[in-house]
Amino acid sequence: MADDGAAFAFTPAQGIAGQSLWDKVHGPLPAVEWRLAAPLIEAIDALKREKNAVVLAHNYMTPEIFHGVGDFVGDSLGLAREAARSEAAVIVQAGVHFMAETSKVLCPDKTVLIPDLAAGCSLAASITAADVRLIRQRYPGLPVVTYVNTTAAVKAETDICCTSANAVQVVEWAAREFGVDRVVLLPDEFLARNVARQTRVGILAWRGRCEVHERFTAADIAEMREAWPHAEILAHPECPPEVLEAADFAGSTAAMSAYVKTRRPRQVVLITECSMADNVAHDAPETEFVRPCNLCPHMKRITLQNIHDALLHGRFEVTIDAAIATRARASVQRMIDLPPPAAPARYDLIKARHHVDVELI
């Protein structure tokens, strides 16, 4: 339904014009849903032209958003870079709230919209700026590295941000820059444990967890091996370490996508959020995707309808206190200014490295 209660009507012209898009989404998106999506996509494209707007779509968006209206698509690091480079007047964040805050931090003069204010994140909710200040008091002199999955207020209290694609690189940079052998890495406990297995730098970690990835277990992997013995299993580093140990490959969403596109496995399982497989499938038509995934309830709050309404009504605008934004920008910009990693971090190499534990704060 349109915002005023009237339905967008599907026309034969939209069917013809949208054929290339339909070719991308027809696997996971039934034809009846395409007839509802196509008019909305056309309306969103018109509003983007009218408002000089772009849509930044995360890998976990549903296919009709990812392929249909995303001007820039990718993982958190890629979207942060695109936000910084964008010349659009309006950015619509097809993702969760911390991503929209990051875009606003990097683009203070642009209007940044989040289509649903309730699109949160369990990791971002797991730690506060006050927590980080207390950690600094307890561990003076140690650099604090913050996963990008945090609020702007938390980023403002830290030295540099990271994503799963560059966390090992950032941790090692922070240790060198501060001349220390230990680094605080917040707030994802499992990411911290998995980073610790890739570096000689000691890691102090928080107890935050992603509600999507923490639910996967090594027993799940064993069951998948039995059910699909020829499938290659790829896991995200927000999963527990024992899941990564059992997988064939582990890395960020960008790394998993690159693996599938370059290796072209006959059958693959992506141990991450459900829409990831749907969105990668178009670029690997010969690969069969087994989909024992977990849905992110926050990502799924973003729809074509509320993207349309966000553009139409200029809602919901993300605002950040200027002082907080300035300090948060410094930590995000330090991450962006680092040379991009030669390749997104691989976390499955733990099999060939020392096994260490982290110190939980």
Q: In this predicted model, what pLDDT tens digit does every residue of 338-350 receive, in sequence order?
A: 988 777 678 876 5
Residue 252 pLDDT > 60:
yes
Q: How far apart are CA 120 and CA 301, in angstroms?
A: 9
At residue 190, φ and ψ (nearest 5 deg) are -75, -40
DSSP assignment string, 72-116: EEE-HHHHHHHHHH---SEEEEES-HHHHHHHHHH-TTSEEE-S-
Tokens of 98: 């911390």
Looking at 8-17, 229-238, 298-307, which range is the least confident one? 8-17
Residue 352: pLDDT band (50, 70, 90) is very low
Better pLDDT: 157 or 349: 157
| pLDDT tens digits, one per residue of 44-89 | 999 999 999 999 999 999 989 998 999 999 887 788 788 888 899 9
Tokens of 322: 């200027």
User: Count H helices, E strands: the chain?
Assistant: 16, 13
Tokens of 39: 């008019």
| pLDDT tens digits, one per residue of 256-296 | 999 999 999 999 999 999 899 988 988 898 999 998 778 99
Tokens of 260: 């599938």
- Per-domain residue ranges for the chain? 12-120+298-313
pLDDT of residue 105: 95
Residue 6: pLDDT band (50, 70, 90) is very low
Residue 245 pLDDT > 80:
yes
State which amino acid sits at residue 63. P
State which amino acid sits at residue 242. E
pLDDT of residue 5: 44
Q: Count CB neighbours of 88 within 10 A.
A: 19
Residue 152 pLDDT > 60:
yes
C-beta of residue 167 within 8 angstroms of C-beta of residue 345: yes
C-beta of residue 308 within 8 angstroms of C-beta of residue 68: no
Torsion sign (Cα): 331, 332, 334, 339: positive
* Per-residue H/E/C for 275-295: HHHHHHHCCCCCCEEECCCEC
Question: What is the CATH topology of the domain spanning 12-120+298-313?
Answer: Rossmann fold (3.40.50)
pTM of the model: 0.88
